Structure 1
Amino acid sequence: MGLLKTTTLGIVLASATHATFAADLRLTVDLRAVQSDGRDSFLENGQGKLRFDDEDEGVRLGRLYVAVDAPLGESFAVHVEGSTWDDHDKNPFDLTEAWLEFRPVPRAGFKPRLRLGAFYPPMSLESRAVGWETPYTITPSAIGSWIGEEIRTVGLEGQVDWLGTRLGHSLDLQLTAGLFGWNDPAGTMLAAHGFALHDRQTTLFGRVGAPRSNPALASKELFHEMDDRPGFYVGAQASYHDRAVLNVLHYDNRADPAVFDAAINDFAWLTKFDAVALRLEGSDGWTAILQALDGDTYIAPGPWLRWRFDSQSALIAKRIGAHMLAARYDAFAVEFEDDPRAWGSEDGHAWTVAYTFDRGGPWRFALEWLRVTSDVRARIALGESPLATESKIEFSARYSLSGSL
C-alpha cells in the first residue's frame, strides 16, 4: 500500500476529525432491479461488458454512499467519501475519494486551488453529480466507466481559474496540473477485459475481479506504487457562459514497465492517454456531451508489449421539469501489438437510453436500457464466440439524506 499513501490519506482523515466548524454529512442508498442477459461479468473474471450478468437478475444494491464535507477555517476544507457495492470486495466498505483542499480568496480575477489526497483527475464533463456519478444515465460512458475502474490521483493537484465572465468577458479559463503516485497498475484491466460499461468505482483499497486460488488469475488491486516514479497530468478548460465547456487533459503515469511486484503479482503498466470533452447546454433544457479518449499502455516482461486503446461517446439529453430523457452512443477498441485479431484485442459499441425523474428531493428514480455489442478475442480461450451482444434493463430507486454533524 505504501507508507506515503497511508500518510497522505491519514492527513486528510485527521483534518476531518479536527474540523472547527460543523461538518455536512450525506448518505445515499441506491437500490436496483435488474434484468440482464449479460455474459459472465468482468467482476467475476469473465469477459462480459456489464456490471450485472444473467446471474445477477433481481433486486441488487447499486451503491451505498457516505460523504463528509467539513470546512477548516476560511480557506481550507476536507472531503471524505466511501462506498460499498455489495459484491464481495476485500473491504465491505471503503474509501473512493478523500482530499484536503486549499481555496484562497480570488484576487484580480484569478481563483487558485490546491488539493492533496485521492481523487479523480478533472477530465469528465459527464460525471458531474455527487459521488462522481452522471446525472443523465445510470451507467456512465465506456470512458467514464474505465476512469472509475482504474484511474485515481493519489497526490497533489493545483488549479487556477481565470474568472473572465466576472470581469466582463465571455470566457472563463482553467489550468490544472497534477503530480501523483500509486497508479502504476493502471492499464491492467484494459489488457485483461478491455472496456466495460458499469457504474462501479474501484475503492482505494479494494480490487477488481473475483478471488481465485491461482494468484495469476486473482482479482487485482490497482492503486499501488511500484517504481517510485511520480506520474503527472496537465489539463485546460474553457467555458463560454457555462453554455459551452471544452476540456482537454494529458495523462502519463510514467511507470517503469519492467518493474514487477510479487505482492500484487503484476507489472507496472506505462499508461499514457489524451482526453477531450465538449459539453453544450441550451436554455431550453437540452444538453449534448461529446467525449474522446486515445492512449496506450505497455509492460516489458522481456520484449515490450503494447496495447492501444480508444473510445468515443456522444450523449444528448432533454430535461422537462423533473423529467429527463437521455440517449448515448459509445464506441471503443483495444488493439494488442497493432493486430485487431490478436488475443488481447477487442472492439465494440453500445447504445444507452435512460429516463430520470428527480424533483430535487430525497428520492430519484431512473430507468435505463443498455445494449453493448463487442468482439473480444480472449473469449475464444474460454470456449466462447468472440462476438457477443449483451443487454440489460435496470431500474434505480435512490434515496439521499443530508444534514449537519
Structure 2
Amino acid sequence: MCPLLVGWHVNSFAFDASLKGIIDVRAFHVASDDAKSYLAGDYGKYRYDSGSGIALGQLGAHIDLELNSKWSASVVANAFANKGNSAIGITEGYINYKGLPSSNGWRVKSKIGVFYPTISFENVATAWSTPYTLTSSSLNNWVGEELRNTGVNLSLEKLGKFSGSKHSFSADVSLFQNNDPAGAMLAWHGWTIGSRQTLLHEKLIVQDFPAREGKLKFQAAESDPFLELDNRFGLHLSANWKYDNKLKFNIGFYDNFAEEGLVENGQYTWTTEFFHSALKYRFTKEWEVIAQVMAGNTYMTSPYKERVVDNDFDNAFIMLRHFWSVHHIAARFEHFNVDDLDGLWGDNNDEQGNAFSLAYRYKLSKQSFILTEFNYIDSHRPSRWYLNQAIDKKETQYQIGYRYYFKH
C-alpha cells in the first residue's frame, strides 16, 4: 500500500490517508423458470433475474485515515449495477483503535461506528468481498443483506508470538443498535446466494403473499433492516482461536434484543438471535477447508404482543480450496432450513434446500484475476405457490468475471 500524505496540518500533526478497492465486472446466465430475483420481490434465489446479462458485480472502496499509531478512521463505500437493480452508497464507517501489544502479547482493539459483525470467514477481502468465489454462501449473503452493527466493539487479544507460542486468542463484545427489523427478509424470501451487500440507506422489497392483505396488512412494502425502533442495545459475543497460520476457529452469539410489538411506518421489530461458528484449516501447502454453521430464531409480534411470524433457521456450508501456481479452485456445499413455527394463514415460511458452487480463479497479476463460477440450488419453498410458481425448484447460475484490486 502506498500511503498518501494529506496536505494539511493541525498543530504540526499530519494525517496519513490510504485507499484500497475492488473492481468486479461479470457476465451471467441464470436459469430459474423465468423467476425474478429475490431483490426484485420475487423468489429467485440469485442476485440476478432469470436470463443473461452483464453486471458491475462490485465497485468497492475502503478509505483509511490514520490519525496516529493507535487511532484511525475508515469508510467503506460500494456500488452495484445490473438491469433493474443499481445503487451506490456506504456499507461501513467507523473509528478504529488498535493498542500496542504488551511485552507478553496482550492487546486491546476497538471500533466505534457502523461495521459488520465478526461472523464471516468468506468475506475477508477488500470492501467485504470474498476472494475465493464470485458469490457468497447463503449464510454470509444474509449477513451482508440484513446485519450491520451500529455501536461499539471491544476486543481483547493474546498474541502468542510474544511468548513463543503458536496459539493466539481473542474475545470480542459488541453493543449495537439500528438492527431491529433484521430477520424479516430471511423469513419472507429465505436463504439466497449472491454478492449484493445492502447499503446503509437502502430498503428491501418484501415478497408478495396473501397475509399481506390480512394479518400483515400494515407491513410496509419495503423492509428497512438498519432501523432503530426500541432504543435498546443488541449484543454480539465472539471468541477466536488461531494456531500458527494453519488453523482459525470462531464461535459467537448474536441477539438484537428487540422489544416485542413495536411498529413504526409499517416497520416492525423482529427479535432475532443465533449462534454461529466457523473453521478455517490449511491441511497442506495447497489445500484448505473453510466451514461455517449458524442456528437461531427470528420472530415478530403485533402491537398486542401476539407472535405473528415465528421462524427457526439454520445453515451450514463447507468449502474446499485447492491452489497452486496461478490457479485456484473452490468447491462449496451448503444446506439450509427455515422452520415456520406460527400458524399464520397465507405466510408459509418453511424452506429446505441444498446448494453447490464450483469456482475457478486464474491469477493474471498480483492485483487482477479472471474468475468463472457455476451455482446450483435445489430448494423446497411452499410460498412460491402464492405466485403460481413451483414449490420445488432447481436453479442454476453461470458467471465469468474480471476482478482488479487496487491500492493507493
For the residue of structure 1 that corresponds to 2:384, the secondary structure is: helix
Matched, 1:110 2:113: no
Q: Partners in 1 of 2:54 and 2:292 — Cα distance? A: 32
**Alignment equivalent of 2:337, drawn from 333, 339, 350:** 333
Q: Tell me if structure 2 keeps the 8 A contact 1:79–1:99.
A: yes
Q: Partners in 1 of 2:182 and 2:16 — Cα distance? A: 37
Q: Tell me if structure 1 keeps the 8 A contact 2:62–2:126.
A: no
The letter for the 2-side match of 1:375 is H
* Corresponding residue number in structure 1 for 2:162: 166
Cα distance 1:317–1:222, how it changes in 2: closer, same or farther (>3 A)?
Answer: same
* Corresponding residue number in structure 1 for 2:280: 279
**Alpha-carbon RMSD:** 2.4
Q: Partners in 1 of 2:218 and 2:55 — Cα distance? A: 29
- For 1:50-129, list aligned pairs within 5 A: 50-55=46-51, 57-86=52-81, 92-107=87-102, 108-129=104-125
Residue segments in structure 1 that go unaligned for 5+ positions in a row: 1-16
1:8-34 deviation digits (Å, cap 9, x = unpaired): xxxxxxxxx999323112243211100
For the residue of structure 1 that corresponds to 2:90, the secondary structure is: strand
Matched, 1:200 2:196: yes
Cα distance 1:208–1:275, how it changes in 2: closer, same or farther (>3 A)?
Answer: same
For the residue of structure 2 that corresponds to 1:86, the secondary structure is: strand
Matched, 1:358 2:369: no
Q: Partners in 2 of 1:327 and 1:315 — Cα distance? A: 5
Q: Tell me if structure 1 keeps the 8 A contact 2:21–2:406.
A: yes
Q: Tell me if structure 2 keeps the 8 A contact 1:330–1:351.
A: yes
* Corresponding residue number in structure 1 for 2:226: 223
Deviation at 1:171, TM superposition (A): 1.0
Q: Tell me if structure 2 keeps the 8 A contact 1:186–1:222.
A: yes
Q: Partners in 1 of 2:132 and 2:392 — Cα distance? A: 29
Deviation at 1:394, TM superposition (A): 0.5
Specify which structure has the higher proportion of strand.
2
Q: Tell me if structure 2 keeps the 8 A contact 1:25–1:68.
A: yes
* Corresponding residue number in structure 2 for 1:4: none
**Alignment equivalent of 2:16, drawn from 12, 19, 22:** 22
**Alignment equivalent of 1:135, drawn from 121, 131, 140:** 131
Matched, 1:343 2:339: no
Q: Tell me if structure 1 keeps the 8 A contact 2:220–2:267.
A: no
Deviation at 1:366, TM superposition (A): 0.7
Q: Tell me if structure 2 keeps the 8 A contact 1:90–1:207.
A: no
Q: Tell me if structure 2 keeps the 8 A contact 1:162–1:172.
A: yes
**Alignment equivalent of 1:252, drawn from 255, 261, 270:** 255
Matched, 1:316 2:320: yes
Deviation at 1:68, TM superposition (A): 0.8
Cα distance 1:59–1:100, how it changes in 2: closer, same or farther (>3 A)?
Answer: same
For the residue of structure 2 that corresponds to 1:143, the secondary structure is: helix
Q: Partners in 1 of 2:396 and 2:84 — Cα distance? A: 25
Cα distance 1:221–1:268, how it changes in 2: closer, same or farther (>3 A)?
Answer: same
Residue segments in structure 2 that go unaligned for 5+ positions in a row: 1-8, 209-216
* Corresponding residue number in structure 2 for 1:46: 42
**Alignment equivalent of 2:372, drawn from 361, 367, 374:** 367
Q: Partners in 1 of 2:312 and 2:206 — Cα distance? A: 26
Q: Partners in 2 of 1:89 and 1:268 — Cα distance? A: 29
* Corresponding residue number in structure 2 for 1:239: 242
* Corresponding residue number in structure 2 for 1:300: 301
* Corresponding residue number in structure 1 for 2:3: none
For the residue of structure 1 that corresponds to 2:385, the secondary structure is: helix
Q: Tell me if structure 1 keeps the 8 A contact 2:54–2:82.
A: no
1:91-141 deviation digits (Å, cap 9, x = unpaired): 942101111101111113111101011111111112111111222111111
Deviation at 1:321, TM superposition (A): 1.7
Q: Which segment is superposed worse, 165-174 or 151-160?
A: 165-174
Q: Tell me if structure 2 keeps the 8 A contact 1:91–1:205.
A: no
Q: Tell me if structure 2 keeps the 8 A contact 1:234–1:251.
A: yes
* Corresponding residue number in structure 2 for 1:10: none
Deviation at 1:401, TM superposition (A): 2.8
1:318-377 deviation digits (Å, cap 9, x = unpaired): 1112210010100001111178x9711111010000001225533221100000011111
Aligned length: 383
Q: Partners in 2 of 1:156 and 1:42 — Cα distance? A: 32
Q: Partners in 2 of 1:402 and 1:276 — Cα distance? A: 32
Deviation at 1:257, TM superposition (A): 2.4
Q: Which segment is superposed worse, 23-32 or 314-323?
A: 23-32
Deviation at 1:53, TM superposition (A): 2.1
1:257-306 deviation digits (Å, cap 9, x = unpaired): 211111xx121000000001111013422110111100000111142131
Deviation at 1:81, TM superposition (A): 1.0
The letter for the 1-side match of 2:204 is V
Cα distance 1:90–1:50, how it changes in 2: closer, same or farther (>3 A)?
Answer: closer
Cα distance 1:58–1:174, how it changes in 2: closer, same or farther (>3 A)?
Answer: same
Deviation at 1:217, TM superposition (A): 6.1
- Compute the TM-score of the two structures, normalised by the length of structure 2: 0.89
Q: Which segment is superposed worse, 298-307 or 368-377?
A: 298-307
Cα distance 1:215–1:90, how it changes in 2: closer, same or farther (>3 A)?
Answer: farther
1:200-222 deviation digits (Å, cap 9, x = unpaired): 0101111223899x984633221
